[in-house]
Structure 1
Amino acid sequence: MNKLTTVFIISVILSILFISWGTISPESLDSTTSSLQSFLQVKFGWFYLLAASGFLIFAIYLIFSKYGRLRLGKETDVPEYNLITWFAMLFSAGMGIGLVFWGVAEPMFHYYDPPAGAASESDEAARLAFQYSFFHWGLHPWAIYTIVALALAFFKFRKGAPGLISAVFYPILGDRVYGPIGKIIDVIAVIATVFGVATSLGFGASQIGGGVSYLTGVENSFNTQFIIILIVTVLYMISASTGISKGIKYLSNTNIVLAILLMFFLLFAGPTNFIMDLFTSTLGSYVQNLPSMSLRMRPFEGSSWIQSWTIFYWAWWIAWAPFVGTFIARVSKGRTIREFVLGVLLVPTIFGGLWFSVFGGSAISLDMAGTGIYDIISNQGMEVALFAVLEQYPLGTIMSIIAILLISTFFITSADSATFVLGMQTTNGSMNPSTKIKLTWGVIQSSAAAVLLWSGGLGALQTASIIAAFPFAIIIIGMIISLIKAFKEEKVPPRSKKDESNTK
């Protein structure tokens, strides 16, 4: 077993205190965290918007700058994983459960409660529903992941630094990263990871319970969700014990196969022309309106829509960033910065847009036809949204079972990846944390998800993300400053002969 570090001990104690609080007094936990969430959303909503947009601008700058030619490792290093496996692993870790959970539910909610003052159930509401779904799951979240992953990979593989968040700050702090300041940075990253992943695991357990309830009539109660968490915890602990090149790799490839199977089934069983027209037009309006959506706060209208959706999402992605960033960094050695940023930004964004077009487009098309999909979601909860849509098509029950299996494998992959990341961050950056360390974090993650569901359901999951994200957003800003300083000290390799011939 890896030697117990200060970061491990402090992080475990803080996590256990939180879990104990939620177990002993769930009402107190819910009310306290809800008040803090409300304060952060109202007083610092602008900060989340500016920070996320700044991260995207910096990521785009790297694509076109000379630093894009730098390699994440030595100049002779080659990527450890092929492109397909690489995309599968980063996508499974970065979006998995959330995309399946919100694929139908979010466009439907925006359609009936649209932003920007559009009339409910109007054509304009439908257009905005998909535009904002693309926005919330597109370039901004992946830019957040990009910055954290890039910084970790650059310092780990090119500079030989430990795979710790604090190690990124060496150009700014020097040897002080090994002292109390560095420990505080790493503890914040660990706690943000615990809450960010617990949010996603809670959503996954809730949706699996919703699917089982929709198909069998078993009540989707906390007891049902708790049993699901227990079962999946055992499965992802088994996966975690096999190592990253076996369990996570194979599960990630399985996730992509199941996701594509489900998506293509609905694409061709549903209104295919409508879906593809929707995807094409929404992609255009998303790109066209990206700047205005990125900085939109509606100060004169007093609406809470932005706080409820956009700010929640930006906080969720920031809370997930230390986990997803560390994992993506781990599997990205040998790629150039330009290749890395383009891959992490564009491929998941386009796939996510297609996903929302297929699932959300099918749902709204059915609702317009009078099938009452929205009524089902309103009465039974957003957890059943996907299954309510699938049941409207041939082989609906079989597809619902496949969907439950997909959510379960995403659940296992996310939790498995997170146990590796938490183990790495609490063992001085070890690339192979011991199984006992990973299993310890596995139990804590699942316990945190269960406590959040117990104390306040889905609302508590959202609250935890927003609170955990605030301090880590500040850390990401520091990571950018440190990266820029490190880049300036690098000898950038010359352009390739092809590039040189193009400039003559």
Structure 2
Amino acid sequence: MTEIPKTDYKLGQDNVRVLGLDIHNPVFVVSSLGIIAFVAGVLVFQAEATAAFGALRAWLMSTFDWVFMGAGNFFVLFCLLLMATPLGRVRLGGADARPDYSRSTWFAMLFAAGVGIGLMFFGVSEPVEHFLQPPLGLEAADTAAARLGMAGAIYHWGIHGWAIYAVAALSIAFASYNLGLPMTLRSAFYPLLGDAVWGRFGHGIDILAVFATIFGLATSLGLGAQQLAGGLAHLWGTPTTDTIQVLLIAGITGMALTSVVSGMEKGVKRLSEANLWLALLLLAFVLMVGPTLDIATRTVTSLGHYLAAIGPLSNWVGREDLHFMHGWTIFYWAWWISWSPFVGLFIARVSRGRTVRELIACMLIIPTLTIAIWMNAFGGTAVSQYVDRGHLDVIAAVQAQQPEIALFALLETLPLASVTSVIGLVLIVVFFVTSSDSGSLVIDTITAGGKLDAPVAQRVFWCVFEGLVTVALLLGGGLVAAQAAITAAGLPFALVLVALCYTTWKGLRATQTDRAG
């Protein structure tokens, strides 16, 4: 077994300290200038950007669908392999390391970072849309469509997506805690490349990570702004213009800045816990006042349908439902992949002391079960209201291509709608702030060469520009622009993550003596 060579690299040795900043050269410079140029270009040439994003999205999804589908399946198999081998007993941080956070707090932080606003946006609308246009060529709006539609929704939010996060989180945590390297994505390649990771190759990896992260975050923040504006309009008749959405993005980004300045312990930790409790409160309400027994039964059966459908949904050869694959699955895998540097680094920061098996098992199983309950409580209730009672509220919203109001349309059919709708709005805001806050901390860590205590001004810079990129994508084509941006950013990162699997395997095998008992 080959021993991993030691390195003389010192944390921050390539950093430039100027004007009170502590930035990594050239990662910060190239990343920040690239983002500034993108924002300026899109805002100045909005019409041209809209056309370009539309063409780019169509080309990427039709040309490189095999890359995303194949990579998604590979990551699941890799995670299962690690869990089944003795490498799963390796403890992040060494045999004597113990977790820094309780399991409930740890799960709250990884779940809030991992699902973000998307679950609020798609939790009702996606099962309904798959019910109306089911995958694999099924007939629409019947019992079989409801079952497979729910399986398709869980498929997009379940094991495949979390396996992508697990690969990134595990590789970064192992490199940082077991090899003593800076907490950046480049460090994960050290078992394979040695000191070469501190050169141009490493710079390129970290720059790609910044771009993927910021476009992935901007997509989520854009969905959050769209849903928040839609909820306000649905409840109180406020306008849903681009100006209103820009003002919402600006206001909530300002709230995120307060949390960014507070840091990990006071900001992100408290927001993540508040996020989880608010989500559980809303979920508990729907479970109690909705068709409780039906939700419980559907959750169990939908998990069975999901496991049965994983094979057909994952196999893109010979499929006729290309709309489902290109319009949904490819977008989701690109979204998960573009979020992986952010979520992976964030989860790595809070996962010291966990074993490889514990990290993977918790990231694959618990979120999938939670998401199945959420989807069945919200989306499943909307479908059953239509099938059993003929309620058209949510169905009409989805058919009118207004998925942002689907949640509020559902809550209106339940008791205490005025209260729960406000809770829904607050939850969207908190998810928005948590994502922006966590993303700023992660991007700052990458662009500060792995430093966890870089000056606050740098985190403020990235938080502001996350908001500006969100505004640029909103004005440059909306969801189509966001899909094009994250697919373009996610494509090279899919290959990076495949390489990460090999280097992580190599590193774990070389340090098998550092294992949990």
**Which TM-score tier does this pair reach, normalised by the shorter chain?**
over 0.9
Picking from 8, 11, 18, the partner of 2:38 is: 18
Distance 1:132 1:72 in 2: 34
Distance 1:115 1:437, change over 3 A: same
Distance 1:494 1:103, change over 3 A: closer
Distance 1:76 1:302, change over 3 A: closer
Partner SS state of residue 3, structure 1:
strand
Runs of 5+ consecutive residues of structure 2 not aligned to the other structure: 1-19
Q: Percent identity?
A: 38
1:380 CA drift (Å): 6.7
Partner of 2:12: none
Distance 1:4 1:424 in 2: 9
Partner of 2:181: 161
Partner of 2:347: 328
1:360 CA drift (Å): 0.4
Query: Which amino acid in structure 1 is aligned with residue 86 of structure 2?
Result: K
Distance 1:457 1:164 in 2: 31
Distance 1:302 1:494, change over 3 A: closer
Query: Which amino acid in structure 1 is aligned with residue 494 of structure 2?
Result: A
1:297 CA drift (Å): 4.5
Picking from 442, 446, 449, the partner of 1:428 is: 449
Partner of 1:91: 111
Distance 1:384 1:247 in 2: 29
Query: Residue 66 of structure 1 contacts residue 492 of structure 1 at CA under 8 Å; is this kept in 2?
Result: no
Query: Residue 87 of structure 2 contacts residue 512 of structure 2 at CA under 8 Å; is this kept in 1?
Result: no
Query: Residue 2 of structure 1 contacts residue 427 of structure 1 at CA under 8 Å; is this kept in 2?
Result: no
Distance 1:153 1:227 in 2: 37
Partner SS state of residue 334, structure 1:
coil
Partner SS state of residue 37, structure 2:
helix
1:493 CA drift (Å): 5.4
Query: Which amino acid in structure 1 is aligned with residue 96 of structure 2?
Result: T
Query: Residue 71 of structure 1 contacts residue 335 of structure 1 at CA under 8 Å; is this kept in 2?
Result: yes
Partner SS state of residue 4, structure 1:
strand
Distance 2:356 2:333 in 1: 24
Where in structure 2 are the equivalents of 1:311-390 lying within 5 Å?
A: 311-368=330-387, 369-373=389-393, 374-379=395-400, 381-390=402-411
Partner of 2:420: 399
1:461 CA drift (Å): 1.8
Partner SS state of residue 115, structure 1:
coil
Query: Given the two structures, how large is their TM-score scaled by the length of structure 1?
Result: 0.96
Distance 2:287 2:240 in 1: 29
Where in structure 2 are the equivalents of 1:385-464 lying within 5 Å?
A: 385-464=406-485
Deviations 1:443-473 (A, max 9, x none): 1100011111111122222222111100111
Partner SS state of residue 393, structure 1:
coil
Deviations 1:23-61 (A, max 9, x none): 001122222222222222111101101101100111111
Distance 1:253 1:495, change over 3 A: closer
Distance 2:263 2:378 in 1: 33
Where in structure 2 are the equivalents of 1:176-255 lying within 5 Å?
A: 176-255=196-275
Distance 1:493 1:173, change over 3 A: closer
The answer to which of 261-270 and 130-139 deviates more is 261-270
Partner of 1:500: none
1:296 CA drift (Å): 3.1
Partner SS state of residue 242, structure 1:
helix
The answer to which of 20-29 and 325-334 deviates more is 20-29
Distance 1:414 1:105, change over 3 A: same
Report the aligned-residue RMSD: 1.3
Partner of 1:303: 322
The answer to which of 234-243 and 430-439 deviates more is 430-439
Partner of 2:4: none
Partner SS state of residue 22, structure 2:
coil
Distance 1:494 1:335 in 2: 11
**2:29 paired with 1:9:** yes
Distance 1:78 1:41 in 2: 43
Partner of 2:122: 102
Distance 1:494 1:444 in 2: 41
Distance 2:328 2:275 in 1: 26
Query: Residue 92 of structure 2 contacts residue 351 of structure 2 at CA under 8 Å; is this kept in 1?
Result: yes
1:169 CA drift (Å): 1.1
Picking from 494, 497, 500, the partner of 1:476 is: 497
**2:487 paired with 1:466:** yes
Q: How many matched pairs?
A: 495
Distance 1:71 1:297 in 2: 39
Partner SS state of residue 433, structure 1:
coil
Distance 2:109 2:21 in 1: 26
Deviations 1:335-383 (A, max 9, x none): 1111111111111111011100000011112222222121133337111
The answer to which of 246-255 and 35-44 deviates more is 35-44
Partner SS state of residue 286, structure 1:
helix
Distance 1:492 1:343 in 2: 24
Deviations 1:45-79 (A, max 9, x none): 01101101100111111111111111110221110
1:196 CA drift (Å): 0.3
Deviations 1:131-152 (A, max 9, x none): 0011000000100000000000
The answer to which of 191-200 and 167-176 deviates more is 167-176
Query: Which amino acid in structure 1 is aligned with residue 420 of structure 2?
Result: M
Distance 2:318 2:59 in 1: 18
1:291 CA drift (Å): 2.4
Query: Residue 95 of structure 2 contacts residue 516 of structure 2 at CA under 8 Å; is this kept in 1?
Result: no
1:245 CA drift (Å): 0.9
Partner of 1:492: 513
Distance 1:277 1:177, change over 3 A: same
Partner of 2:138: 118
Partner of 1:145: 165
1:312 CA drift (Å): 0.7
Partner SS state of residue 243, structure 1:
helix
Partner of 2:297: 277
Query: Residue 150 of structure 1 contacts residue 329 of structure 1 at CA under 8 Å; is this kept in 2?
Result: yes
Runs of 5+ consecutive residues of structure 1 not aligned to the other structure: 497-504
Where in structure 2 are the equivalents of 1:54-93 lying within 5 Å?
A: 54-93=74-113
Query: Given the two structures, how large is their TM-score scaled by the length of structure 2?
Result: 0.94
